A and B are shown apart, each in its own frame.
Chain A
Amino acid sequence: MMEWFAENPVLSGIIKAVVLFAVPMQIVPGLIYFERRICAWIQDRKGPNRVGPIGALQPLADVVKLLMKEDIAPKGVDRAIYVLAPALVFIPSMLAFAIVPVGMDLQVFNPNSGVIFAITIGSFAVYGLSFGGWASNNKYSLLGGLRSSAQMISYEAALFLALMSALMMAGTVDLNVVVRDQIAHGWNIWRQPVGAVLFLVASFAETNRLPFDLAECESELIGGYHTEYTSMKFAMFFLGEYIAMITMSALMVTLFLGGWSMPTFLLTIVHDWFGVAISFDQVTLGTMFWSIVFFSAKTSALLFLFIWVRWTLPRFRYDQLMRLGWKVMIPVALANLAITATVIVLMED
C-alpha cells in the first residue's frame, strides 16, 4: 500500500487531494450542527433536535434551504467582484489545509516553503472579505470589509511571529519535521507556552471568530461584509469561515500540540486497550491510521474550544482590538522570539 503510493505519485496525489478536499467539506456541516447544539447547551437550551435522529440532519435541511433561496444581488453592486468574493474567502483556507499533515507524512503536498505557504495563502482570505464588503454597495458591508482587512493584517503579524517561535524550536518549516521534533523533545505548548497562547488568540482573529468578529458584528453592522449576500454565495462565506477554523485548528495542533503524534503514556494506553503497539519510527498502515485518529481528536478538541470561546466571550471594541494587536501581542511575540533565539544560540554553544 505504502509502496504503491510511493510508486504512483500523480495518482496518489490526486486521491489525497480529493479525500482531503472532501473530508473538511463533510466536517463543516457537522461542525455547524455541533456549534448550534453546544451554544444551546451553554444557554440552557436544547438546540436543533427535530430533523433526523437527535437533529443530526439539520445542516442538510439548511443546505437545501440555502439552495432553494432566491439569489438576489442588490442594485449597484460591482458584479464581477461581488461574485468573486465568496470564492476568495473559501479557496485560500482550503488550499492552506492542503499542506497540513493530517496523518504520519500524509499531506496533499509538501512544498519547500512548508508552513509559510499555508500562512501566505491563508492571508488571501482577507481579499475575499474586503472585496465582498466593497462590492456590495452597502455602508455596513463596507465598514465590515474595512474592519476585517485592518484586523487581519494586524493579527497576521502576531500570528506569524508566534508561529516562528514554534518553527525555531525545530529549525525548519517542514511540518512533518516539526512534529518529529515534538515527538523527540515534548510538545511545543510546553516549550513555547507564550507562543502557543499568542498563536491561538491570533488564529481567533484570523478566522473572524468571536471575540474578534468585528467584520461581521451582527449587532452593529447587521452582517458586515456578507450583509448583501444571499443563497449559496452566503453559504460560501459561511463555509469559508468554518474551513478557516478547521485549518487554523489543524495548524495549531501541528505546531504546538504534537500534530499526529501522541505522548508515550497515551500510546501505552492505546496498547493496553486495543493491543496495538505504535511507534512513529516508520510509516505503516497501522501507524498511519492511529496518527490520523490522534490528529482528528486533537483538532476536534480545538474546534470545540473555538465554539466554546465564541459562546462565552463578548465582542471586543474596535480600539481595544487594535490596542491588543499592536501594543500587546506583537511586542510580546517579538520578545518571545528574541528570548527563544537567544536561548537556542546559547544552548548550541
Chain B
Amino acid sequence: MGHDAHAEPEKKPGKLGLLGKAYLPAIAQGLLHTLGHIVKWDHNTLNYPDEKRAPFPGYRGEHRLTRDEQGREKCVACFMCSTVCPAHCIEIVAEEAPWPDREKRPKIFNIDMMRCIYCGMCEWACPCEAIELTEVFNIPVRTRAEKIYDKERLLSN
C-alpha cells in the first residue's frame, strides 16, 4: 500500500553525524511511525468465530461425492482418483452396479482427511465429475477415526 522501495531516493551510506549517533532523531521518527499505526486503527485481524472471511474462489476444502439427477452417486469406481492421489488417502472397494448405464459403483469409498493434502488432483482426475472439493475446512472431531470419511459422509458433504 504505497510502500514502494524504489520511490525513495537512494541514500549513500556515510557517516551518521552527531545527531545520527545520538539515535534520538531516528527514535522519534520511529515512534511517530508506530503512533501512526495506532491512530490509523486499521486492523487486519478478524474476530474469527464471530466474523468469517468469505472463501476465495477455487478454495480447496473437504471433499464431496456428487449425485446425478436420479439421486445416484456419479462415481463409477474407476480408481482414477485413488491412483492419482499423492497422499494415498482414498480407499475404494468396487461392486457391480445395479443400473444398466454403468458397470461398477463404489461399495466403500473412504477418504482419510488426516492424510489428505487438499491438492485437488482427485477432482482433476475424475472423468465423471463425481468428486469435488468444497469450501468447508473447519470440521473438528474428537478422534482420528472420525476424520476418515466414508461414502455416506462424503455424499452428504
Residues on A close to B: CB < 8 A?
38, 40-46, 49, 197, 308-309, 311-313, 324, 328
Choose from A38, A46, A197, A309 the contact partner of B43 (Cβ within 8 Å): A46
The answer to whether A38 touches B38, judged by C-beta atoms less than 8 angstroms apart, is yes
Using CB atoms, name the residue of chain B closest to A332: B22
Say which one of B4-12, B23-31, B78-86, B136-144 lies at the interface with A: B23-31
The answer to whether B34 touches A311, judged by C-beta atoms less than 8 angstroms apart, is yes
Q: Judge if B56 is at the interface, Cβ distance under 8 Å.
A: no
The interface residues of chain B lying within 8 Å CB-to-CB of A312 are 27, 30-31, 33-34
Using CB atoms, name the residue of chain A closest to B29: A312
Roughly how many angstroms separate A46 CA and B30 CA in the complex, as a whole number?
21
The answer to whether A42 touches B38, judged by C-beta atoms less than 8 angstroms apart, is yes
Roughly how many angstroms separate A311 CA and B31 CA in the complex, as a whole number?
9
The answer to whether B47 touches A46, judged by C-beta atoms less than 8 angstroms apart, is yes
Using CB atoms, name the residue of chain B closest to A41: B38
Residues on B close to A: CB < 8 A?
21-24, 27, 30-31, 33-35, 37-38, 40-45, 47
The interface residues of chain B lying within 8 Å CB-to-CB of A313 are 27, 30
Closest CB of chain A to B21's CB: distance in Å? Answer: 8
Using CB atoms, name the residue of chain A closest to B49: A50
Roughly how many angstroms separate A49 CA and B43 CA in the complex, as a whole number?
13
Which 3 A-B pairs have CB atoms at the shortest separation, nearest pair first?
A: A46-B45, A312-B34, A41-B38
Q: Which of A38, A42, A45 has the most CB of B within 10 A?
A: A42
Choose from B27, B37, B44, B47 the contact partner of A42 (Cβ within 8 Å): B37
The answer to whether A45 touches B34, judged by C-beta atoms less than 8 angstroms apart, is no
The answer to whether A42 touches B34, judged by C-beta atoms less than 8 angstroms apart, is yes
The answer to whether A44 touches B31, judged by C-beta atoms less than 8 angstroms apart, is no
Known pairs A44-B42, A312-B30 / 14 extra A-B pairs, C-beta < 8 Å = A41-B37, A42-B38, A44-B37, A44-B43, A44-B44, A45-B44, A45-B45, A46-B45, A308-B34, A309-B27, A311-B34, A312-B31, A313-B27, A328-B22
Roughly how many angstroms separate A311 CA and B24 CA in the complex, as a whole number?
16
The interface residues of chain A lying within 8 Å CB-to-CB of B35 are 308
Closest CB of chain B to A39's CB: distance in Å? Answer: 10
